[in-house]
Structure 1
Amino acid sequence: MFKAEEWKVKGLWQKVKEMWWYFWEVDVNDDMEERLSSSDKRWLLYWNFMTCMGVVILILIVTGINNFRISRQNGRDVEEAMSMIATYMASATKDEYDDIAQTIRHDLVFSEYGEDIENFIQYIPNTVETCHTCMESYPAQALLVCANTGQFYSLDLYDIGENPDNSSRGGTIMNFGYDEVSQTNVHITKSPDQKTGYAGIDRGRGIVSVHRMKAQFCDDCIRDILNTVEHQLIEEFFIFDTEKRTFYPIDDGTTLQIGDYRLDIEYKDSDYRIDIHYTSE
């Protein structure tokens, strides 16, 4: 068995040698001019090889020059950004730091990365242990969620499975919340007997901390939240449909149908109002 395999290898090697000899050497005693001479073949092979090497070297030189130019431009951009930040901070008084921070966020960071904010925030590590929007079940169909704290507030007028006929709720139900990062107040008033309610969002500084979001929501949920606002600045609060697992931004003049409820959003005097109506009969 071994000898048979050895003979096959030797036969293959002998055939390769014959082909090599025929290509390079057979023309030595060949007076016909139907094929290239061995010297012509070597000359063509040599110059083809040198031409390919020259093209490769030229490509490497051009690529290196381009990378060098890009690196220099990036360095100038970073230097300009740091100079801008230093100028802002050096010229700010104690009372102006909040305004300066917001100016830097809007004029510097988001003007540069506004169209690709997802890639921008990827450099902040995600430290969340329990994502507030990845739970298996929720006590409500529509939730008002705070981006900075992960706290959510029910917009439902009735508990899951309840309706006006079998609900034990009555009178007026009120709930309050506060986001210390953006200094935004939330107050929710519900009247189950009348099948209506509303949520008021009194905005403060309008700041959303990506660091805090990375500690409250997983990267998949943050990506979905960014998709709702087309990778632009997000608001302090957003609406979450717990059944469809869908996020909605709070936009003026928007009407949402979530489960048994219709939400009418209105923006007035820098604040939002969400009117809640029970629509299932």
Structure 2
Amino acid sequence: MEVLKNKKTLQDFIERQKEMGKRIGFAPTMGALHKGHLSLYEEARKENDLVISSIFVNPTQFNNPEDLEKYPRDVNRDILILQNSGLVDAVYIPEVADIYPEKTESQHYDFDGLENEMEGKSRPGHFDGVGTVVEELFRQIQPDNAYFGEKDFQQLAIIKKMVEKKKLPIKIKGVSIYRAESGLALSSRNQRLHEDRKEASKIIYEALKKVDSWSKTTTIPDIKEKIQEIFDQQQGMQLEYFLIADEETLKETDFFHEDRSYRAFIVVIVDGVRLIDNMHLS
């Protein structure tokens, strides 16, 4: 596995691969790798000649400086995980100057309103940061296919919109949420939880499964009330938000229309760690 530590090394590598006509699959990460990340590379391996990872903790998508500071970082561990997986041909580990050569600031994007829903309401500018780093990585790596987990469903929708608006020749592929045996969605932030709290947090997935069942017979206001009751009873957990939204527009709804697809979204703070999850409603 090649370890590419700056933009020039990456450019030389990509140029050689393109000359050989290699089809490139790519999934960017912020490190703190886990099996959820590896599931992206498993999908990429099936459809491409070459699979590339990147590790870059993007400063412009953190609204809270403390959150950026606490974000888990262990690049040597991450490289070892990628090497041992046998799924990745190269990993790009840029410096901030490779992504932001002048100022460390985001471009402004219009994502047709997707950026104003859910996470966008409490994290202004967050998706500008996401769009900026992903667009720059796309332009440097020039992948044919790029893979993103459905755990960050809003981010996935926004990246699809950015690629559409910028007319980038890249196919964006969503990959199903990778869950622990308990059902907890794998996340780099989970590393900040004690094992017993990870086990207790399986209530998030269990609640979503109940929502899927209730959605067939129960009104959305009643579902929201039931979810609030569940988390009111959990010690050390705070429900930040729960909502049901149209999968295409991400707009919250209080009523199910037969011709639309819906998804339940939830954010729970467990011992100060913010956990997000979602589920398509069948």
- TM-score, L = length of structure 2: 0.23
User: RCO (CA 8 Å, sep 6+): is it higher in 1 or 2?
Assistant: 2
- TM-score, L = length of structure 1: 0.23
